[in-house]
A and B are shown apart, each in its own frame.
Chain A
Amino acid sequence: MKKILVLLAITVSSTILFAQSEKYMKAMQSNIAMLDSGYIKGNMAELSNNFERIADAEKTQWLPYYYASYCAVGNAFAEPDKSKTDGIADRAEQLIKKAETINGKENSEICVIKSMIASSHMMVDPQARWQQYGEASASNIAKAKSMDPANPRPVYLEGQSKFYTPESFGGGKAPAKELFIKALTMFDTFKPETSLHPNWGKSTTAYFLAQCN
């Protein structure tokens, strides 16, 4: 009888754990699957909320906060009313800080998001904000590269930044194209740690590359 009780206890607790992590996996996977369509549908804010909900409930996972921040900064870029951009970007900043706190340190993917947040602040008033945010965006790309040289996302972001910089300022399609090609080859070999780890950017890189031709 005692043995059976122990067995029962183990079965029940592992089932709960299994169910819990399965629930987490499922929720994350279904939301991650919506990321690419999120930009098109314009529901990045909603996705950000979904991830934040998972993050707040889990409390020990950095990835849901990471995705919540990624979606928030995507929303900041998509927001047509520039007077709202700063508020959304500040929200993304809070979320990525939570991810960093839970993870215990910065990592390459977190730096990618930080670079995007800085760029979104800059887009509000590039002339006046270039000095502060342009610098922050570029230095986070550099950090992301050095922390994980195999990560294709900082290369893709660098290409995007070149793409939007006028030719006479050293940007343009030609230098952007090189970076997009490099990023694409890196995407081909890039293996995320788990199926939940960041693996976005390949399709947008391909899209930008097509624009360069």
Chain B
Amino acid sequence: MRELYLLIFYILFSFSSSAQSVISGKTKDAKGRPVPGVSITIKDSYDGGTSDSIGTYTFKTTELGDKIIVASSIGYYTFEQKITLKDAPLNLDIPLKEEPNELKAVVITAGTFEASDSKRTTVLNPIDIVTTASANADVTSAIRTLPGAQQVGESEGLFVRGGTANETKVFIDGTLVNNFFFSSVPDIAQRGRFSPFLFKGTVFSSGGYSAQYGQALSSVLLLESIDLPERTSANLGISTVGVSAGYQRLAKDKNSSWGFSYNYTNLLPYFKVVKQKPDYFHVPEFHNTDFNYRVKTSKTGMLKFYGYMNASNLGLRRSDIDSSVLKNAFGLKNVNLYGNLSWREKLGKHWKMNLGLSYSTNTDKINNQLQDQANSKQTFINYPFSQKNFDIKANADLAVMKAVFERRLKGLSMFRIGGEYFYNKDKSDFSSDSVYQVNSHSSDNLKAAFTEVDIYVTNDLAAKIGTRVEHSSLLDKPNIVPRISLAYKVGEVGQASLAYGIFYQKPDNSYFIRTYRFNELQYTRATHYIANFQKVTREYTLRAELFYKKYHNLIKTIPSNNGIDSLNNAGYGDAKGFELFWRDRKTFKNVDYWVSYSYLDTKRDYLNYPMAMQPNFATHHTASLVVKKFVTKLKTQFNGSYTFATGRPYYNIGYNAPAKSYKIFDEGTTINYNSLSFSVNYLPNIGKTGASRFTVFVFSINNVLGSRQVFGYNYSYNGMNKEAVTPPATRFFFLGCFISFGIDRSDDVINSNL
């Protein structure tokens, strides 16, 4: 019995007195640097410690025998090791290996500007697009304040690094968009069709982009549409250019949403107050409607549909350049339909799928007339007046299918494979005084396949290697290209990237529907070389980029007495330059600004150029300053932007009959371009949580100083008369009020110091 009590006593005693040993050591990463904040634990015990700022740790334990020591820290692989604990001190150094981390890993940025809401620090936010003063909520106008794009005021589109607007393609949710801009009007740049509020992510690539994208010689603009809205809401807008209304419904289970909006734009009242240089016989009028439906198809899947319809009508009259008494009247009616269906889903553990389907049809009806002072139609049989009365009905259809499958490899490495199919049909019915009627059409089946791999050697070194194969039925030729880019992290926030790639683009559809001979046309081709360095933190961004681009097989027109005889691919050119970008959110309190500068040296021999020369859409120096300041007390955001560009060359190129070739009859350089813009957003309900109504007032002026802007010159047929191409009005004013019910839209503009 006594033994038993002793036993019990012994057992009880053993819980209260145990041997203690001290474990200590250092934590080190792969480069031997200390890792602070590592949790070191003896598995399944309370005993452990945390490494200090120099990586040392020490703790006591009462555990004995064979145990497992575990060390873990954010951003590192968990370290485990078996140890045997005796009643003695133990010294154990802990090596830690960095875990691949999307937020910390190097990103390939050669040629790329990204605006997204991802957790990674990006150069721009989605809000930056809509609060850039000169942009008036137009995506591409905001992009024009970044390095790489030219200031071309007479024509829509992005002219990137010596490329034409046609060389930049726009993609929504992965599929190509035809007619992204409103239909062209001679000498007046048009806006993009789509509201920037539709998109949560924008990537502007000025070169060297992924094998996923093709048929763009210079640049791609990638837009990613928003997923489900935060809440159900309705909105109303009224402005100096029109009215709008919309409704967006989020299902109760927050798994799906639908919405629609309608926009009516009529510039009549505005043109009454702000006089325009052209005489508008039909003031621009636009009806826009759109519809969207988005549904979560599973925990990881999302299906989105977006449908858009636009009908517009406008007509303007200018004095005819070939005569002192006649006028030229241009009328345009446009109908555009666009639908985009996209579906992304995870397939099993490793695969991700992105499917896209889009269709668009665009019809432009153009009527051009020669008129007298009383605005009645005049008919002449002599050249060039015989060419000035005509009607065109142009129709463009495009259907796109795209499928991308992505497989996650070890760490952050990724493998991608996919295909694209484009079907386009272009039709043109042309009739004039001299030509009874010419109906022409052209269609093409373009198939493409691509594969790409993102290799992360470490968090600090990444490569993207891809290849793309295409075949156009119209050209009946395949092409295959390589795309390679590399990125290396230099220090905590710096990184260097390189990109190389070959890019093919078939000649513009419009060439195929004219009456030229186009024997043996080939793809036009460009080769890009880009070197980039960037440092990004939340406070500032510094970016520098060098590029060289070589053009091959550009389209050349072969002249004859009657105009253009045929086309070939004898054109060529190159572009080189450097670009700088600096953004600073810290130096001046509550002020965020960026500066961009582009130097471009480009020459090309294409179309009717008699030799390789600087094209009329390119200048050497372009610089922009964009400033944003939110004044909390006034609940107002002030935005300013200033853009400067040196003059662009202009040419009067004509047919030199004796030599049977093109000749420059006159040339020059336009004056420098200056534009100062200013906008104010006033948000009276900002910050009122629970407010059912949210109002934004917007006021903006483009070209506040009224600087004279000349985009080029038009020449009369005989070259005797020369007229400057200028904006339709010196300044553009905008005043609008947008009310949203049931949703607090303050997030769009809220101050960063809140």
Indicate if A165 sits at the interface (CB-CB under 8 A): yes
In the complex the two chains form, is A54's CB within 8 Å of B37's CB? Answer: no
Indicate if A174 sits at the interface (CB-CB under 8 A): no
Indicate if B689 sits at the interface (CB-CB under 8 A): yes
Indicate if A171 sits at the interface (CB-CB under 8 A): yes
Complex: chain B residue closest to A72, CB-CB: B74
Our pick among A27, A50, A86, A166 for the contact of B103 (Cβ within 8 Å) is: A86
Contact of A83 with B537 at beta-carbon distance under 8 Å, contacts A12-B11, A15-B11, A130-B747 already known: yes
Contact of A83 with B41 at beta-carbon distance under 8 Å, contacts A23-B46, A166-B632, A166-B754 already known: no
In the complex the two chains form, is B46's CB within 8 Å of A27's CB? Answer: yes
Does more than half of chain B's interface fall in helix, strand or loop, or is it mixed? loop
Indicate if A131 sits at the interface (CB-CB under 8 A): yes
In the complex the two chains form, is A168's CB within 8 Å of B632's CB? Answer: yes
Q: How far is the CB of B20 from chain A (nearest CB, A)?
A: 15
In the complex the two chains form, is A124's CB within 8 Å of B752's CB? Answer: no
Our pick among B4, B39, B746 for the contact of A130 (Cβ within 8 Å) is: B746
Complex: chain B residue closest to A162, CB-CB: B689
Indicate if B15 sits at the interface (CB-CB under 8 A): yes
**CB under 8 Å from chain B, chain A span 50-92:** 50, 52-54, 56-57, 82-83, 86-88, 90-91
Complex: chain B residue closest to A11, CB-CB: B8
In the complex the two chains form, is A8's CB within 8 Å of B8's CB? Answer: yes
Q: How far is the CB of A18 from chain B (nearest CB, A)?
A: 9
Indicate if B750 sits at the interface (CB-CB under 8 A): yes
Q: How far is the CB of B696 from chain A (nearest CB, A)?
A: 15
Q: How far is the CA of A87 from the CA of B7 in the complex (A)?
A: 52
Q: Which residues of B contact A90 (CB under 8 A)?
A: 74
**CB under 8 Å from chain A, chain B span 117-168:** 117, 119, 121, 125-127
**CB under 8 Å from chain B, chain A span 162-181:** 164-166, 168-171
Complex: chain A residue closest to B753, CB-CB: A126
**CB under 8 Å from chain A, chain B span 1-22:** 1, 4, 7-8, 11-12, 15
In the complex the two chains form, is B44's CB within 8 Å of A12's CB? Answer: no
Residue of B37, B44, B686 with highest tally of chain A CB at under 10 A: B37
Q: How far is the CA of A176 from the CA of B74 in the complex (A)?
A: 35
Contact of A135 with B230 at beta-carbon distance under 8 Å, contacts A124-B538, A166-B754, A168-B633 already known: yes
Q: Which residues of A contact B11 (CB under 8 A)?
A: 12, 15
Indicate if A34 sits at the interface (CB-CB under 8 A): no
In the complex the two chains form, is A169's CB within 8 Å of B686's CB? Answer: yes
Q: Which residues of A contact B48 (CB under 8 A)?
A: 49-50, 53
In the complex the two chains form, is A49's CB within 8 Å of B50's CB? Answer: yes
Q: How far is the CA of A189 from the CA of B126 in the complex (A)?
A: 47
Contact of A130 with B754 at beta-carbon distance under 8 Å, contacts A27-B46, A171-B687 already known: yes
In the complex the two chains form, is A15's CB within 8 Å of B752's CB? Answer: no
Q: How far is the CB of A100 from chain B (nearest CB, A)?
A: 18
Contact of A53 with B39 at beta-carbon distance under 8 Å, contacts A127-B127, A130-B746 already known: yes
**CB under 8 Å from chain B, chain A span 12-67:** 12, 15-16, 19, 23, 27, 43, 45-46, 49-50, 52-54, 56-57
Complex: chain A residue closest to B41, CB-CB: A53
Contact of A128 with B117 at beta-carbon distance under 8 Å, contacts A4-B4, A83-B537 already known: yes
Contact of A131 with B632 at beta-carbon distance under 8 Å, contacts A53-B46, A169-B687 already known: no
Indicate if A188 sits at the interface (CB-CB under 8 A): no
Q: How far is the CA of A4 from the CA of B1 in the complex (A)?
A: 9
Q: Which residues of A contact B103 (CB under 8 A)?
A: 83, 86-87
Q: Which residues of B contact A134 (CB under 8 A)?
A: 747
Indicate if A186 sits at the interface (CB-CB under 8 A): no
Q: How far is the CA of A49 from the CA of B39 in the complex (A)?
A: 6
Complex: chain B residue closest to A87, CB-CB: B74
Q: How far is the CA of A43 from the CA of B43 in the complex (A)?
A: 22
**Count of A residues near B, CB < 8 Å?**
45
Q: How far is the CB of B235 from chain A (nearest CB, A)?
A: 15
Contact of A128 with B75 at beta-carbon distance under 8 Å, contacts A45-B50, A54-B46 already known: no
Q: How far is the CA of A164 from the CA of B754 in the complex (A)?
A: 7
Indicate if A125 sits at the interface (CB-CB under 8 A): yes
Indicate if B635 sits at the interface (CB-CB under 8 A): yes
Contact of A127 with B687 at beta-carbon distance under 8 Å, contacts A15-B12, A82-B538, A83-B538 already known: no
**CB under 8 Å from chain A, chain B span 462-476:** none
In the complex the two chains form, is A165's CB within 8 Å of B754's CB? Answer: yes
Indicate if A138 sits at the interface (CB-CB under 8 A): yes
Indicate if B660 sits at the interface (CB-CB under 8 A): no
In the complex the two chains form, is B632's CB within 8 Å of A169's CB? Answer: yes
Contact of A83 with B127 at beta-carbon distance under 8 Å, contacts A127-B750, A169-B632 already known: no
In the complex the two chains form, is A12's CB within 8 Å of B119's CB? Answer: no
Q: How far is the CA of A165 from the CA of B48 in the complex (A)?
A: 40
Indicate if B751 sits at the interface (CB-CB under 8 A): yes
In the complex the two chains form, is B538's CB within 8 Å of A125's CB? Answer: yes
Q: Which residues of B contact A45 (CB under 8 A)?
A: 37, 50
Contact of A170 with B689 at beta-carbon distance under 8 Å, contacts A57-B45, A82-B538, A83-B537 already known: yes
Q: How far is the CA of A23 from the CA of B75 in the complex (A)?
A: 32
- Given pairs A52-B39, A127-B750, 9 additional interface contacts (CB within 8 A): A11-B8, A46-B50, A49-B39, A124-B119, A126-B750, A126-B752, A128-B117, A128-B127, A130-B750
Mind listing 18 A-B residue pairs with CB under 8 Å? A46-B37, A46-B50, A49-B39, A49-B50, A50-B50, A53-B45, A56-B43, A82-B538, A87-B74, A91-B74, A125-B125, A126-B754, A127-B751, A128-B126, A129-B117, A138-B689, A166-B751, A168-B687
- A: residues with CB less than 8 A from B are 4, 8, 11-12, 15-16, 19, 23, 27, 43, 45-46, 49-50, 52-54, 56-57, 82-83, 86-88, 90-91, 124-132, 134-135, 138, 164-166, 168-171
Q: Which 6 A/B pairs are nearest by Cβ-Cβ distance? A: A169-B687, A131-B747, A49-B39, A127-B752, A46-B50, A130-B747
